[in-house]
Amino acid sequence: MAEHQVDEVVEFLAGARRVAVLTGAGISAESGVPTFRGNDGLWKQYRAETLATPEAFERDPVLVWEWYDWRRSLIAPVAPNAGHRVLAGWESLFGDLAVITQNVDGLHAKAGSRNIVELHGNIWKLRCTREGTVEENRNTPLPRIPPVCPNCGSLFRPHIVWFGESLDPVVFDRAYGLSEACQAMFVIGTSAVVQPAASLPLAASRAGAKIIEVNIEPTPLTPQADYFFPGKAGEVLPLLDRRLRDRRPASGRERPPDRRA
Tell which residue, 251, 258, 200, has the closest CA to residue 96. Answer: 251
CB of 232 to ligand BV8, least distance (A): 4
Indicate the angle between helix axes 233-247 and 82-94, nearest 10 degrees. Answer: 30
Decide: is 79 part of the binding site for ligand BV8 (CB under 6 A): no
Number of residues engaging ligand BV8 in binding (CB under 6 A): 37
Q: Please give the C-alpha separations between residue 15 and each of 11, 121, 244, 255, in angstroms, as whole numbers.
A: 7, 33, 10, 5
Whole-angstrom distance, CA of residue 117 vs CA of residue 115? 7
H-run or E-run covering 240:
helix 233-247
44 or 259: whose CB is closer to ligand BV8?
A: 44
Decide: is 191 part of the binding site for ligand BV8 (CB under 6 A): yes
Which residues are paired to 184 by β-bridges? Answer: 19, 210
Q: Let me know the angle formed at the C-alpha of 142 by 140 and 148, rounded to the nearest 5 degrees.
A: 150
CB of 213 to ligand BV8, least distance (A): 9
Which residue minimizes CB distance to ligand BV8? 26
Q: Could you tell me whether strands 96-101 and 210-215 are parallel, antiparallel, or unpaired per DSSP bridges?
A: unpaired
The residue range among 5-13, 139-147, 168-176, 210-218 that interacts with ligand BV8, by the rule CB under 6 A, is 210-218
CB of 132 to ligand BV8, least distance (A): 18
Decide: is 169 part of the binding site for ligand BV8 (CB under 6 A): no
Q: Catalytic one among 4, 84, 108, 120?
A: 120
CB of 256 to ligand BV8, least distance (A): 28
Q: Please give the C-alpha separations between residue 236 and each of 43, 46, 128, 232, in angstroms, as whole numbers.
A: 29, 32, 41, 6
15 or 230: whose CB is closer to ligand BV8?
A: 230
Binding residue for ligand BV8 (CB under 6 A) from 75, 104, 203, 204? 104
Binding residue for ligand BV8 (CB under 6 A) from 31, 102, 113, 183? 102
150 or 169: whose CB is closer to ligand BV8?
A: 169
Whole-angstrom distance, CA of residue 39 vs CA of residue 59? 26
Type of residue found at 59: R
**DSSP codes, 147-214:** -B-TTT-PBEEEEEPPTTSPPPHHHHHHHHHHHHH-SEEEEES--S-STTGGGHHHHHHHTTPEEEEE
Binding residue for ligand BV8 (CB under 6 A) from 2, 62, 79, 193? 193
Is residue 4 part of the annotated active site? The answer reads no
Binding residue for ligand BV8 (CB under 6 A) from 19, 21, 22, 30? 30
Decide: is 166 part of the binding site for ligand BV8 (CB under 6 A): yes
- The answer to whether the beta carbons of residues 228 and 218 sit under 8 Å apart is yes
CB of 234 to ligand BV8, least distance (A): 6
Chain positions contacting ligand BV8, by CB under 6 A: 24-26, 29-30, 35-38, 41, 49, 52, 102, 104, 120, 160-166, 189-191, 193-197, 214-217, 219, 232-233
The residues annotated as belonging to the active site are 120
